[in-house]
Amino acid sequence: MNYFTPELLALGLTNDDSTLNEQERLWDEAGARFVAYLDTVRPKMPPGLRKFDADFYLHDALIQGMGQQGRAFVIVVQLDTSPRSLLTLEYDLVEEPIIHRDVLPLALRGQGTSVDWQYDEIEMIGGDPPTWRHSILCSNGWEVRLHFRDLTVREMLALIPASTSTSGSVPSLAPSS
């Protein structure tokens, strides 16, 4: 991670108000630098990455699973926001994924078996056409790095685990006539 580093997160492991204020200032600066960077590369993003960038914010989404078959790497998450739909991200990999374990201090790692999507960064690698790197920080302390051409994003209503719905009813799975 280039902007939202584990070291910056670790600054929050204190009760000292001045340190927490400094962390917040540094966090805001890192966020502004990252948004400025994204603004420079968005015109070059392939369609799937553009959709992901424009339509989804995955902080605190529950990671339901990750897997790879050949050049395809898939991540399934359940969004944290209503209606808590499922999102499938399928990356067309350029090279094998890299998983750095234990990048977060123990005090910042989630406990238990569930893993949340914490922060992520997108980086243009270059070339013609350019390729991309997605670095994802997970609550279990992992950083997953994916070097890819594009990704396919699918959003669907979750039946298990159930999505929240304002009507309280489960939509019909039968084809409409």
Domains of the chain plus CATH, in order, are 47-156 (3.20.190)
- Residue 169: predicted pLDDT: 52
- Residue 112: predicted pLDDT: 82
Q: Which residues of the chain have pLDDT under 70?
A: 164-177
Q: What is the pTM of this model?
A: 0.87
- Residue 152: predicted pLDDT: 98
DSSP line for 47-112 = HHHHHHHHH---TT-EEEEEEEETTEEEEEEE-SSTT--EEEEEEEESS--EEE---S-GGGSPPS
